[in-house]
Structure 1
């Protein structure tokens, strides 16, 4: 009887030891909040998990604006340890809400092509601007607009589709470009003229590009998109093509440089803080910086990072852009959005 009791006790202790060992060896869960456009190759993410000893829990929270709102609304009980996709249009709001913490690791110390405030580490950047359907303009024999003022003329009535800046980060970026390039009063006068000229407003980039743009069966041959969109058209074409069917319009007041970053989430799991730092370093690593060019269609932030061929050939950067100051964005963004809504929609 005594031997049987000792044997059972040893079995119980052995089971507890094995359970503890398994728990000790289990990968650390890392909660990553991103916008819906976050996209890196599965094998690259799997290699990161293996190298870092973590298990990624990626939560996509819609558009970058929606993601930032979610981060702010869950401030009291954070749903993530690290967040990717806060851009320079949304960063003032995130910093004011106190939802991110500065990161000071190697990636934050290295030179970068772009910068961000508040200890947020830049990962990539791009340009929000107008894209045109080249075949549509060739068929109609209509000259391309040479300025934003041209777009408000009768010849270009009902040709432009934009995203609502209250619900879309590219829409907000384009609004900012008009304000920085035309001046606040000039910008809203232009928007008022565009309302009269039949500008179409949709919720987000997907609706604008894949529903309303003539390239995809819509009725609008001009769309607010990205400088890298022509390169994506070539990359994803079913037939092998050497020239993009779309082109960029880099007009004064119509180009905004968007910078996206990754940040530690304030109040995230302390046990996952080291893993969160590893994820930040991973996003600035050479493999991730190369991959994001043809998955998220942005330019790499790491200084000296090589551009992939399709981006070099079909995603030439503009020579100028119009960004308002961070101070103006922080102080005036709410008023700008209200005024835009009143001018364009009401």
Structure 2
């Protein structure tokens, strides 16, 4: 409605302003804790936020907190003081920690018939998955390692950057990957890796940025990371070193916090994450495999697939993670 040359008494004007402010504030706000790259300019977060707000008659606020491990640490620290309704970006390796902390409620979402993986959980809903891998520049490395043992033994003196397992989900994934392959000899493997490590970063973004600046020959990332370069810049230089021993699988998940004041709205958001249009966002902007079967961008056909998936079950992770982190920390400190 358009008013022209109308003067309202002061009291009526104040009431008009208050009523309009209340109408605006009546929209519920859903707060999502996630990781930095999700809400970055190249990530899927902004499109997902816009799309969900268009259908929910609500406001969606995404709070970036670093990496998946940082999200878990933050929600545990805040406890019942948290404003978060949804946590997005934890993975299968953090589930037992999150469950023991008692921070989520069952999502009550039915398992899709077109699920693209064998992974499902009643408390944490998967939304994409991928495999950890070391990325390199094919213009610099013409004979990449074909096994993890070849990279670790490193006769070529390749320089490596990876992420801290205490603060980063890829870093934690590498910890499990090394343990899965080397078992009781993991400490020896870490010692060899340390001899050629440029730096251990807090999160993925910092590590990958340093790699792109030429600070290292290999960076820990995902087997699908080259898809980002192909789709964004038509750049085919970057590739993942695919190892005969296999690659550790990561399943990214979302959950509803038990402190949420908007559980039904949160549940609607999780259902939205499983829609084909959002799953395409995860493929095209998160550069991960969607959790449901949908057509993939052509760039996925231009990279080498992982032939063998490695994974510990959640109970093995929960029982051994602290000891494995101590082993890593002790070894690289020598």
Q: TM-score range by the shorter chain?
A: 0.7 to 0.9
Query: Could you tell me which residue of structure 1 aligns to residue 296 of structure 2?
Result: 307
Q: In the alignment, is the contact (CA less than 8 A) between 1:161 and 1:199 conserved in 2?
A: yes
**Using a 3 Å threshold, how does the CA distance of structure 1 residues 96 and 264 change in structure 2: closer, same or farther?**
same
**Are 1:112 and 2:104 counterparts?**
no
Deviations 1:283-328 (A, max 9, x none): 11111000121211111002x22212222333x4301022122111
Superposed CA RMSD:
2.7
Q: In the alignment, is the contact (CA less than 8 A) between 2:248 and 2:311 conserved in 1?
A: yes
Aligned counterparts of 1:42 and 1:192: Cα–Cα separation in 2: 41
Query: Could you tell me which residue of structure 1 aligns to residue 174 of structure 2?
Result: 174
Query: Could you tell me which residue of structure 2 aligns to residue 7 of structure 1?
Result: none
**Are 1:292 and 2:295 counterparts?**
no
Query: Could you tell me which residue of structure 1 aligns to residue 241 of structure 2?
Result: 249
Query: Could you tell me which residue of structure 2 aligns to residue 265 of structure 1?
Result: 257
Query: Could you tell me which residue of structure 2 aligns to residue 137 of structure 1?
Result: 141
Displacement of 1:118: 4.5
Which of these residues, 56, 67, 75, is aligned with residue 52 of structure 1? 56
Query: Could you tell me which residue of structure 2 aligns to residue 5 of structure 1?
Result: none
Deviations 1:104-144 (A, max 9, x none): 134x4545223243421110011111112211123xxxx32
Aligned counterparts of 2:113 and 2:124: Cα–Cα separation in 1: 13
**Are 1:231 and 2:221 counterparts?**
no
Deviations 1:143-199 (A, max 9, x none): 32232222344623242222221222111101101111222x12222112222x322
Aligned counterparts of 1:128 and 1:152: Cα–Cα separation in 2: 15
TM-score (norm 1): 0.84
Aligned counterparts of 1:134 and 1:236: Cα–Cα separation in 2: 18
Structure 2 unaligned residues grouped into runs of 5+: 1-10
Query: Could you tell me which residue of structure 2 aligns to residue 341 of structure 1?
Result: 329
Aligned counterparts of 1:156 and 1:37: Cα–Cα separation in 2: 32
SS of equivalent to 2:320 = helix
Query: Could you tell me which residue of structure 2 aligns to residue 194 of structure 1?
Result: 193
Aligned counterparts of 2:45 and 2:164: Cα–Cα separation in 1: 30
**Using a 3 Å threshold, how does the CA distance of structure 1 residues 15 and 144 change in structure 2: closer, same or farther?**
closer
Q: In the alignment, is the contact (CA less than 8 A) between 1:177 and 1:321 conserved in 2?
A: no
Q: In the alignment, is the contact (CA less than 8 A) between 1:30 and 1:276 conserved in 2?
A: yes
Which of these residues, 325, 332, 340, is aligned with residue 313 of structure 2? 325
Displacement of 1:231: 1.1
Structure 1 unaligned residues grouped into runs of 5+: 1-10
Higher alpha-carbon Rg: 1
Kindly tell me the number of residue pairs found equivalent between the two proteins.
320
Query: Could you tell me which residue of structure 2 aligns to residue 74 of structure 1?
Result: 78
TM-score (norm 2): 0.86
SS of equivalent to 2:281 = helix
